[in-house]
Amino acid sequence: MVLAFFLTGCRSQEHQQNESLAADSTFGQKHRPQIHFTPKEKWMNDPNGMVYHKGQYHLFYQYYPEDIVWGPMHWGHAVSKDLIHWTHLPIALYPDSLGLIFSGSAVVDKLNTSGFGSKKNPPLVAVYTYHSQEKEKAGRTDYQYQGIAYSTDDGNTWIKYEGNPVLKNQGIKDFRDPKVFYHNESSKWVMILAVKDHVELWGSSNLKAWSKLSDFGSDYGAHGGVWECPDLFEMTLDGGATRKWVMIVSLNPGGPNGGSATQYFVGEFDGAKFTPDTHSSKIKWIDYGPDNYAGVTWSNTPGDRKIFLGWMSNWSYAQELPTMTWRGAATLPRDMTLTRVNNDVFVTSSVVDELVVISEGKKELGSLQVDKTVTLADEGFEAVSQFVLRGTFKAEDFAVVVSNSKDQSIRVGYDSGAGRFFIDRGKSGNVTFSKQFPTEIFSPRLDSDDEIEMTMVLDHSSVEVFFDNGLSVMTSLFFPDEPLSSISIHSSHPTKVARISLQKLRSIWK
Ligand code: FRU
């Protein structure tokens, strides 16, 4: 992001909370997502502190409670029992004399290594970046450092550690976004930190004292911009027979469709050092679309699940999005798995199964013969503006078009000649609010199967598309004058689409 402008002033806790209660709770404003997390009002960016604890998924997020542009950062807070419905809670962390509260993570300190709780009542510990505007304005380079805060009441209230900062800055401008996990094999906490053009790994026995383990990345992966918001975790492969480590790193700018995007590496981690499996020039993206940034995974999730969630925006135009009372949303939560394709290992993503809690009116359309155009749903079909469309297409040219009566539409499909998927949002409504808003978005096809399985989730101002079982993913925002609710499939030659279904989704706010 560009930290070139600064707004001052942080409201008192009481003032903020009273106003939040008075905020519009209908979530009915133009463009307001109905199946995605958004704050009640004002600006949000990165998800932070994602931790599962006692049946609840905590979601903190970069929040500026004064305006709908970026400003002095707080941690907003919400919880969910099912990853779909969210309850907004009071702001968890406010800026203090050490600085603004930038991105970071949270863990359950089960062994009470920090001493903030007890083994009987393990504390939650948040690890985040302090950003000192005073130091930055004074022309210093050491203005970002890491702090911790803890909660002994299951995340309701947070106390900042009096020994902050726990990791000081040695004079590097970009030194931020700690993601912490417990490494069982070496019985210690590991922090992955974004440092300008690489990540650093740090180790600790108590979350308070940190020592450097290693560096990774200055000669690997994409480097079109600064590295931010990393994550590192182990996943299984080959039905559990193999284990691999996956490192996620967001990058801004330098994404495949311009601006912000998130790349990943698959490799090994020995408790100190990460070693990637593949060659340094091979770049893999979690999501090729322009609107999924700064995403990481929940810690402490039940079973072996790796659940990812990103900020559904792009720093190139995030502050200009044409929304009024709030600005910013999260992607849908996604389960991530590993899969082998052509002797290489890739991350695949799919929307969490919990989405079923808001599903209604499923239309199983079976197989469809498409001779140029087939209409699946028009405005007569109870105006479907939040839905999941699934289908299996031949790997030939096709487009799914979702439109409204103003002839505004998005087109999503496959270009077989170019071997790539596309989203065309050029006629989707307001596309002129920023010159940086790309209208044609592409993703390479990584699979070579004869059939393309596609799952597309549409909300009032976003579409998330998962091709080839989530091997190629694209997330894109759009801003029509009225919701898009007519769906048709187009193909240049007669073709058959199998297993096509349309599932309407209920608003999560009603
Ligand atoms: C990523 C980011 C982080 C930083 C935060 C500030 O979007 O730039 O690196 O911690 O946003 O809000």
pTM of the model: 0.94
Question: In angstroms, rounded to a whole number, what is the distance separating the alpha carbons of residues 9 and 238?
Answer: 52
- What is the average pLDDT score of the chain? 93
Which one is predicted more confidently, 336 or 493?
336
144 C-beta closer than 6 A to ligand 1: no
> Would you give the distance in Å from CA 278 to the centre of its chain?
25
Rounded average pLDDT over 274-285 = 89
Which one is predicted more confidently, 255 or 15?
255
pLDDT of residue 96: 98
Which tens digits make up the pLDDT trace of 410-467?
Answer: 999 999 999 999 999 999 999 999 999 999 999 999 999 999 999 999 999 999 999 9
State the number of CA atoms in the 13 A half-sphere of 118 facing the CB: 2
Boundaries of every domain in the chain? 43-351, 363-505
Of 42, 46, 175, 316, the residue with max ligand 1 atoms within 8 A of its CB, to mutate for a pocket test, comes to 46
Q: Which atom from ligand 1 is nearest to the alpha carbon of 46?
A: 7
176 C-beta closer than 6 A to ligand 1: yes
Q: Which atom from ligand 1 is nearest to the alpha carbon of 129?
A: 10
Of 228, 499, 209, 226, nearest to 365 (Cα)? 499
Residue 10 pLDDT greater than 50, yes or no: no
Rounded average pLDDT over 246-257 = 98
Which of the residues are catalytic?
A: 46
Residue 11 pLDDT greater than 70, yes or no: no
DSSP 307: E
Residue 16 pLDDT greater than 60, yes or no: no
363-505, what's its fold? Answer: Jelly Rolls (2.60.120)
Reported as a pLDDT band with limits 50, 70 and 90, residue 382 is low
CB 112 within 8 A of CB 123: yes
Partnered with residue 216 across adjacent β-strands are 199
pLDDT of residue 441: 98
Which tens digits make up the pLDDT trace of 281-296?
Answer: 789 999 999 999 999 9
HEC per residue, 41-92: CEEEEEEEEEEEECCEEEEEEEEECCCCCCCCCEEEEEEECCCCCCEEEEEE
229 C-beta closer than 6 A to ligand 1: yes
Residue identified by tokens 């931010």 is 228
HEC per residue, 393-409: EECCCEEEEEECCCCCE
Question: Which residue's CA is minimally distant from atom 2 of ligand 1?
Answer: 1
Please give the angle made by the CA atoms of 465, 467 and 470, to the nearest 5 degrees.
90
Partnered with residue 103 across adjacent β-strands are none
Which one is predicted more confidently, 495 or 146?
146
For residue 324, give Cα distances in angstroms to 22, 315, 385, 479: 16, 18, 20, 12
pLDDT of residue 372: 84
Residue 369 pLDDT greater than 80, yes or no: yes
Question: In angstroms, rounded to a whole number, what is the distance separating the alpha carbons of residues 463 and 340?
Answer: 26
1 C-beta closer than 6 A to ligand 1: yes
- Backbone torsion region of residue 227, taken as left when φ is above 0, otherwise alpha when ψ lies between -120 and 50, otherwise beta: beta
Q: Which CATH class is domain 43-351?
A: mainly beta
**Which amino acid type is present at position 116?**
F
46 C-beta closer than 6 A to ligand 1: yes
Q: Which atom from ligand 1 is nearest to the alpha carbon of 103?
A: 10
> Most distant CA pair in the chain: distance in Å?
69
pLDDT of residue 410: 98
Which one is predicted more confidently, 394 or 362?
394
Look at strands 42-53 and 326-327 and give their pairing: parallel
Question: In angstroms, rounded to a whole number, what is the distance separating the alpha carbons of residues 304 and 73?
Answer: 32
Of 503, 389, 395, 386, nearest to 449 (Cα)? 395
Rounded average pLDDT over 186-194 = 98
Query: What's the 391 CA to ligand 1 centre distance in angstroms?
Result: 36
Question: In angstroms, rounded to a whole number, what is the distance separating the alpha carbons of residues 307 and 290?
Answer: 20
CB 265 within 8 A of CB 285: no
Of 464, 234, 235, nearest to 337 (Cα)? 235
